[in-house]
Amino acid sequence: MTQKNIWYEGIAFPFVGFNPELMRKAYEEFVVNEEDVLTVTFPKSGTNWLIEILCLIRSKGDATQIQSVPIWVRSPWVETVSGYEDLKTMESPRLVSTHLPIHIFPKSIHTTKAKVIYLMRNPRDVLVSGYYFWNYVKFVENTKSLQEYFELFLDGNVTHLPLFPCLDLGPRHFAFCRLPGLFQLPSILPLLSKLHEEAQASVVFGSWFDHVHGWLSLRDQKNFLLLSYEELKQDTRSTIEKICHFLGEKLEPEEINLVLKNSSFQAMKENKMSNYSLLSEVDLIHEGHGSFMRKGISGDWKNHFTVTQAEKFDKVFKEKMADLPQELFPW
Ligand SMILES: Nc1ncnc2c1ncn2[C@@H]1O[C@H](COP(=O)(O)OS(=O)(=O)O)[C@@H](OP(=O)(O)O)[C@H]1O
């Protein structure tokens, strides 16, 4: 039997390395320190590229650490079982990574002055990158086709509950069942919710649209830096300088050269501490089915979307993101 994704708060997660109770504990108890630097992304937005750059800024371009310590140990993911453990004993100043939407990220985020870098990427490229990656690894339910993944990506998490096929119900909609006098179904709520989760397919980590909305609510805070994969790609040097400025780090031009060189697509592709090839040692990837360092370009979606898909994506994007200033999206 194929393994099913894990569900937490109505959002699907990979079935290896995640535990709903631990995520709940992290939400309540994990303390974001003022010295922490957070890398926050929806998956496939260039997270690891940014982490590599942050590590290299700290080492002034020296590659010793990035070539000897796995990237997930250098900047642990707070939502994973191993990452949460590593962060507990890690010395300050820590690098912390997350793909969590803000509403389930540890609540101490709302009272901290820690620096938060939110890296966004054209969601069309995020979609294509995710389609290949999640079918390459063995810890997420596979999707049969790009078309299926496309629909799930646009849908976020709200799919149809088989018990009420005429209603479009997601777990969050069960809240209305708790309203006094409307529906009193408390005893079967957990069962309905479970049935719903088991019946639906979803992209892991939920909706890109919700993720961006949630985290961008912090965009006017001084401790929040919004970056895009596209600007990082187009002018890597200036973007690295912008990051240094945000972090209060002063690097010499030769040191920036080293950061650039050691975080390039080619350098990361060859660095087994950053290219996730170590996952093959624990049998978590489908050998010969691609690579984590896939293409590393902007606009690859144009090689994958049909005209119909491109039009549908535009329409959904306009509807879902209309309330945000469009200048925020540089693609
Ligand atoms: N150095 C560098 N330069 C340019 N592009 C890079 C770099 N490092 C990673 N990448 C590309 O980023 C994509 C992976 O994104 P993430 O790191 O966010 O993946 S993950 O969510 O943490 O699994 C994935 O994008 P695609 O190539 O489009 O699939 C990687 O190739």
User: pLDDT tier at 191 (50, 70, 90 boundaries)?
Assistant: low
Is 83 in contact with 77 (CB distance < 8 Å)?
yes
pLDDT of residue 162: 40
Helices 20-29 and 81-89 sit at what angle, rounded to 10 degrees? 30
Confidence of residue 173 (pLDDT cuts 50, 70, 90): very low
Q: Residue 144: its pLDDT value, please?
A: 87
- The per-residue pLDDT for 192 is 60
140 phi/psi in degrees, rounded to 5: -135, 145
User: For ligand 1, is residue 136 a contact (CB within 6 Å)?
Assistant: no
Alpha carbon nearest to ligand 1 atom 10, residue:
296
Give percent of the chain above pLDDT 70: 86
Over the stretch 141-164, which tens digit does the pLDDT of each residue have?
988 899 999 999 998 764 434 444
Catalytic residue among 99, 160, 213, 286: 99
> Is the pLDDT confidence value at 165 over 60?
no
Instruction: Look at residue 41 and tell me whether its pLDDT is greater than 50.
Output: yes
Residue 196 pLDDT: 57
Q: Assess whether pLDDT exceeds 60 at residue 168.
A: no
What is the distance between the alpha carbons of residues 1 and 297, in angstroms, rounded to a whole number? 36
Per-residue pLDDT at 285: 84
Distance (Å, whole) CA 136 – CA 44:
13
- The arithmetic mean of pLDDT across residues 303-318, rounded, is 98
pLDDT of residue 287: 82
Higher pLDDT, 107 or 180: 107
Q: Is residue 167 pLDDT above 80, yes or no?
A: no
What pLDDT, on a 0 to 100 scale, did the predictor assign at position 189?
60
160 is catalytic: no
Look up tokens 């890296």; give the residue. Answer: 119
Q: What's the pLDDT at 193?
A: 60
Longest dimension (CA), the chain: 69
Give 248 or 192, the one with higher predicted confidence: 248
Residues 66-80, mean pLDDT to the nearest whole number = 98
Question: 3-class SS at 115?
Answer: strand
pLDDT of residue 56: 98
Confidence class for position 307, pLDDT limits 50, 70, 90: very high
As a CATH number, domain 6-159+201-328 is: 3.40.50.300
Q: What is the mean pLDDT of residues 176-193?
A: 50
CB-ligand 1 contact for 294 (6 Å cutoff): yes
Give me 157's structure tokens: 């998490």
- Order of strands, sheet of 37-41, starting from the edge strand that comes earlier in the sequence: 95-98, 37-41, 115-120, 224-228
CA 295 – ligand 1 centroid, Å: 8
**In the predicted model, is pLDDT for residue 311 greater than 90?**
yes
Predicted pLDDT at 187 = 58
Determine the Cα–Cα distance for residues 274 and 8; give it in Å rounded to an integer. 28
Instruction: Compute the distance from residue 120 Cα to the ligand 1 centre, in Å.
Output: 12
Residue whose CA is closest, atom 25 of ligand 1?
296
Does ligand 1 come within 6 angstroms of the Cβ of 262?
Answer: no
Tell me the CA–centroid distance for residue 44 and ligand 1, in Å: 6
Q: Output the pLDDT for position 199.
A: 55
At 22-39, the pLDDT tens digits run 999 999 999 999 999 999
Residue 176 has pLDDT above 50, yes or no: no
5 within ligand 1 shell (Cβ under 6 A): no
Q: Provide the pLDDT for residue 44.
A: 98
Query: Would you say residue 113 has pLDDT above 90?
Result: yes
Residue-wise pLDDT for 272-302, tens only, equals 999 999 988 888 988 888 889 999 999 999 9
In whole numbers, what is the pLDDT of the chain averaged over residues? 89
Other Cβ atoms closer than 10 A to 86: 18
pLDDT at 188 over 80: no
Pick from 13, 18, 41, 44 the residue to mutate for probing ligand 1's pocket: most ligand atoms within 8 Å of its CB: 44
CA of 270 to the centre of ligand 1 (A): 14
75 CB near ligand 1 (under 6 Å):
no
Closest protein CA for atom 19 of ligand 1: 44
Q: Is 43 in the pocket of ligand 1 (CB under 6 A)?
A: yes
> Which of the pair, 181 or 143, is modelled with greater confidence?
143
* 265 Cβ closer than 6 Å to some ligand 1 atom: yes
